[in-house]
């Protein structure tokens, strides 16, 4: 079978001979991969002219709905993907973070966008900046989708997650994607993308797939495009320096393999929980996906006095990691992705062996469960020991991308930090200790060299996702050798595919552009109370100015008795006089409660409920005798997708300003209400 590419709305199959990809377990041919003859310029043009405009016409929430529908469809087919992944040498446990983890990441981004992004095509960022004395000239930052295409060049080890964790934030941002999977596992990515295209929950042109070489693809990119890369540092550097990418300043995000470390704290004893947790995690990272993870632990740093104990404990655990047919439930160590990869790892082990002794594994003969001995691309879990790590070089620079790690001793915390830094930049490092002071010293010493750091101890181990698990709401990437890029990170990842623009103008003009009220903008007043209007009828900038109310001594006393808040500033005349306030004052929460009583319409209407309160600030104290007034303005509207049998509704964000008799603000905040819509 020759893998086809999906380009410009149709499937393309190259007529040229391609690279044959074999089953990593049994050696049978799986597919042939070639993209020779594919129109790369056409793919880029199609993304810009068809996919991009279609995505940008959708709001953030509409894009999220498409992602959610896609994730549901893929999850229903997960068993098909698991069966296919066995051919790449992964066990079901290995494939879980790839398949279900990848689909789960899409769900996460769909949910995040619905919660945190507007139901609009533009996102407003940060607070308004007042740029003039009278407030007629203001500034605000906005984010809009880049008008190009995101090219995602992915590694072979996570053919599903690696593709989806980039695709989800890109589509959410409003950019179409061209996916280039690594050839050894492209058949898995192809199966997933085929289902996404078949479903059609995302606009035509939003997704294209190139199976094979990128050819001259990068020659056709410009300043509106983005390239992301996951793989080896050497390949990434070569792509980053592509003349056209440099000439057009095309953003390039790189996530490269790195020499990640795990550090066992000096405070840990053999009988401690942290010792067992450390050994378990190192063994798991060595055997999961046969060590073919960019986050895998490569350098194991242990107090000198515990070296032998850790080696013995690792040997005992690794001996239980049965190698063999990954489709079998009790197999714990699968194959590498190819025979060529296994040979490359053996060559790297030989390099490391010039500085470190092999203490576990390293055998050339392997008995495999469910398979003939020594078949496929299998390699035993191998641990090397380097007793002089500060004087060594290769253990800090050579990566064997397989089930391989090197254990090394340290004598002081400073030594452990120095060893961690020798990796010259890592995706992740882990610290195992129950001593929080020790954890602080290690983390602060190592953090500048790491994109993520994990502290594991008995308190969090039960719910920890482990050393090697990136999470959608935290960044994934790292400095230096790890590539210097960032992926994931919640909303940060979406913003990577958008242009941040400083917008300047009058408050009224900025309100029209952003669909958000800015103080100083023209306000509209209607005889109908805004709480008696449906979601569709409310206009941004629509304002209600309430009647006035004078705060009395009785108000302060009664509120204190009802709430139980007898703070001295409200009840102790002498203490209040000697305080910051200079006199007794009303409770801040009384002020906002009184304000609600002033602006709320008592009769039933389209307002369903108070949804929350944000950005509250008490600006000035309110002593008895102060006359307050409230201004309520429609700041922002967020149309919500209906759930179940609930009435169609949306969230209205109201800017609230409570002022005193001099017109000065005493409290400012936003309230959120659920308001009925007339239409679904």
Q: Check whether 652 has a pLDDT greater than 70.
A: yes
Average per-residue pLDDT for the chain: 93
Over residues 181-191, the mean pLDDT reads: 95
376 band by pLDDT with thresholds 50, 70 and 90? confident
Q: Which two tokens stand for residue 572?
A: 């102790």
- First-to-last CA distance in the chain? 46
- Among 32, 255, 274, 355, the active-site one is 255
Supply the DSSP string of 429-491, one letter for each residue.
Answer: EEEE-S-HHHHHHHHHHHGGGEEEEEEE-TTTTTT---TT---TTSEEEESGGG-SEEEE-TH
Q: Check whether 493 has a pLDDT greater than 70.
A: yes
The pLDDT of residue 436 is 94
For residue 165, indicate whether it is catalytic. Answer: no
d(Cα 124, Cα 120) in Å, to the nearest integer? 10
- Contact call for residues 422 and 261 (beta carbons, < 8 A): no
Q: Which of 31-35, 232-236, 580-584 has the lowest mean pLDDT?
A: 232-236
Q: Going from the N-terminus, what domains does the chain have, and what CATH number goes with each?
A: 41-256+492-499 (3.40.605.10), 260-475 (3.40.309.10), 523-676 (3.10.129.10)
Over residues 659-670, the mean pLDDT reads: 94
The pLDDT of residue 449 is 95
Among the listed residues 34, 13, 43, the one whose alpha carbon sits nearest the alpha carbon of residue 220: 43
The pLDDT of residue 71 is 97
Q: Check whether 359 has a pLDDT greater than 90.
A: yes
Q: Check whether 680 has a pLDDT greater than 70.
A: no
Q: Check whether 165 has a pLDDT greater than 70.
A: yes
The pLDDT of residue 231 is 86
Q: Check whether 294 has a pLDDT greater than 70.
A: yes
For residue 255, indicate whether it is catalytic. Answer: yes
d(Cα 660, Cα 548) in Å, to the nearest integer? 9
The pLDDT of residue 643 is 77
The pLDDT of residue 234 is 84
Question: Helix or strand or coil: residue 545?
Answer: strand
- Among 211, 261, 294, 630, the active-site one is 294
- pLDDT cut 90: percent of the chain above it: 78
Among the listed residues 160, 169, 258, 231, the one whose alpha carbon sits nearest the alpha carbon of residue 468: 258
């Amino acid at each position: 079978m020759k893998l086809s590419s999906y380009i410009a709305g149709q499937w393309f199959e190259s007529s040229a001979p391609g690279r044959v990809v074999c089953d990593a377990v049994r050696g049978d041919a799986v597919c042939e991969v070639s993209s020779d003859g594919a129109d790369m310029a056409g793919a880029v043009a199609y993304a810009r002219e068809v996919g991009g405009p279609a995505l940008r016409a959708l709001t953030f929430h509409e894009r999220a709905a498409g992602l959610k529908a896609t994730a549901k469809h893929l999850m229903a087919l997960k068993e098909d993907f698991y069966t296919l992944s066995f051919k790449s040498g992964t066990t079901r446990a290995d494939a879980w973070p790839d398949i279900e983890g990848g689909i789960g990441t899409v769900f996460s981004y769909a949910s995040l966008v619905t919660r945190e992004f507007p139901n609009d095509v533009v996102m407003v960022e940060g607070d308004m900046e007042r740029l003039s004395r009278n407030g007629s000239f203001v500034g605000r930052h906005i984010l809009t989708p880049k008008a190009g295409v995101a090219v995602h060049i992915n590694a072979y080890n996570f053919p599903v997650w690696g593709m989806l964790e980039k695709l989800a934030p890109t589509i959410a941002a409003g950019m179409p994607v061209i996916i280039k999977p690594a050839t050894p596992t492209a058949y898995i990515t192809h199966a997933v993308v085929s289902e996404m295209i078949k479903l059609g929950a995302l606009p035509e042109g939003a997704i294209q797939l190139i199976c094979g070489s990128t050819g001259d693809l990068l020659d056709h990119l410009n300043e509106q495009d983005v390239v992301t890369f996951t793989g080896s540092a050497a390949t990434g550097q070569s792509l980053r320096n592509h003349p056209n990418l440099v000439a057009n300043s095309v953003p390039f995000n790189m996530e490269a393999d790195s020499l990640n470390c795990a550090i066992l704290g000096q405070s840990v004893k053999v009988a401690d929980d942290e010792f067992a947790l450390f050994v378990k995690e190192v063994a798991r990272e060595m055997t999961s996906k046969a060590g073919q993870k960019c986050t895998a632990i490569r350098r194991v740093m242990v107090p000198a006095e515990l070296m032998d104990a850790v080696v013995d404990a690792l040997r005992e655990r690794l001996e239980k990691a049965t190698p063999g047919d990954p489709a079998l439930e009790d197999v714990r160590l699968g194959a590498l992705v190819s025979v060529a990869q296994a040979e490359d790892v053996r060559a790297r082990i030989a390099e490391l062996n010039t500085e470190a002794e092999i203490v576990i594994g390293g055998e050339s003969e392997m008995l495999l469960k469910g398979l003939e001995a020594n078949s496929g691309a299998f390699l035993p879990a191998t641990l090397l020991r380097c007793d002089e790590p500060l004087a060594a070089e290769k253990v800090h620079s050579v990566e064997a991308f397989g089930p391989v790690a090197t254990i090394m001793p340290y004598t002081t915390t400073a030594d452990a930090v120095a060893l961690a830094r020798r990796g010259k930049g890592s995706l992740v490092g882990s610290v195992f200790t129950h001593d929080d002071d020790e954890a602080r010293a290690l983390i602060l010493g190592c953090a500048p060299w790491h994109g993520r750091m994990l502290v594991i101890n008995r308190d969090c181990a039960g719910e920890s996702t482990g050393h090697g698990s990136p999470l959608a709401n935290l960044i994934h990437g790292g400095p230096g050798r790890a590539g210097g890029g960032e992926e994931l990170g919640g909303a940060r990842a979406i913003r990577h595919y958008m242009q941040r623009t400083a917008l300047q103008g009058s408050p009224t003009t900025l309100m029209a552009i952003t669909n958000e009220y800015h103080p100083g903008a023209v306000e509209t007043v209607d005889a109908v109370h805004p709480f008696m209007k449906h979601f569709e009828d409310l206009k941004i900038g629509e304002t209600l100015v309430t009647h006035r109310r004078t705060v009395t001594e009785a108000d302060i006393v009664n509120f204190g008795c009802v709430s139980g808040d007898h703070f001295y500033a409200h009840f102790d005349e002498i203490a209040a006089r000697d305080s910051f306030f200079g006199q007794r004052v009303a409770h801040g929460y009384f002020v906002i409660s009184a304000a609600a009583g002033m602006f709320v319409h008592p009769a039933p209407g389209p307002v369903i409920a108070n949804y929350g309160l944000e950005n509250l600030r008490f600006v000035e104290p309110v002593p008895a005798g102060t006359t307050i007034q409230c201004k309520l303005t429609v700041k922002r509207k967020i149309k919500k997708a209906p759930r179940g049998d609930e009435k169609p509704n949306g969230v209205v964000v109201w800017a609230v300003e409570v002022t005193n008799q001099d017109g000065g603000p005493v409290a400012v905040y936003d309230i959120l209400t659920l308001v009925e819509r007339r239409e679904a």
